[in-house]
């Protein structure tokens, strides 16, 4: 004799809300990093230095390369829209990459005593961690 546990309506509703919340966070991450990456690729260095102090101390190729990485990771966060089976590992890899990137940039902004951009990275970490942990389960 086997026992089967059926999902209660309450647990199905909670899973639905969790899924909506994770997709919302993924959308915010994608929008932020696609926009930030696009700006780093297309804006003149003078504008980037005005917006953020650190590009003044970094080679232009590094800033542009970081923009390409941000753009790619932002798009990869939305990969499950095409196929959950193929896109989920891409999403998890992108979320892990974003965690590394955000942590490193938090350090750069904190060392440069740029409180505003440091707080932005703390906020981004607070969005990325639930996405990574929530999507890792399934």
Q: Model confidence over 45-61: pLDDT tens digits?
A: 999 999 998 999 999 99
Q: What is the pTM (predicted TM-score) of this model? A: 0.87
Residue 11: band (very low, low, confident or very high) from pLDDT cuts 50, 70, 90? confident
Mean of pLDDT over the chain: 92
Encode pLDDT of 80-117 as tens digits: 999 989 999 999 999 999 999 999 999 999 999 999 99
Least confident of 60-69, 87-96, 129-138: 129-138
Residue 5: band (very low, low, confident or very high) from pLDDT cuts 50, 70, 90? low
Do residues 76 and 84 touch, judged by C-beta distance below 8 A? Answer: no
* pLDDT given for residue 4 in this prediction: 56
* pLDDT given for residue 45 in this prediction: 96
* pLDDT given for residue 19 in this prediction: 93
Residue 12: band (very low, low, confident or very high) from pLDDT cuts 50, 70, 90? confident
Distance CA 89, CA 84 (A): 9
Distance CA 121, CA 110 (A): 10
- Nearest of 117, 87, 89 to residue 102 by alpha carbon: 117
């Amino acid at each position: 004799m086997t026992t089967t546990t059926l999902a209660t309506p309450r647990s199905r509703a909670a899973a639905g809300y969790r899924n909506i919340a994770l997709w919302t966070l993924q959308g915010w991450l994608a929008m932020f990093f696609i926009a930030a990456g696009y700006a780093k690729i297309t804006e003149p260095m003078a504008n980037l230095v005005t917006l953020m102090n650190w590009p003044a101390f970094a080679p232009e190729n590094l800033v542009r390369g970081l923009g390409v990485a941000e753009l790619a990771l932002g798009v990869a966060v939305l990969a499950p829209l095409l196929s959950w089976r193929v896109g989920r590992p891409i999403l998890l890899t992108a979320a892990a990459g974003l965690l590394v990137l955000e942590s490193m940039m938090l350090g750069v902004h904190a060392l440069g005593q740029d409180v505003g951009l440091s707080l932005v990275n703390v906020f981004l970490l607070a969005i990325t961690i639930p996405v990574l942990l929530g999507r890792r389960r399934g």
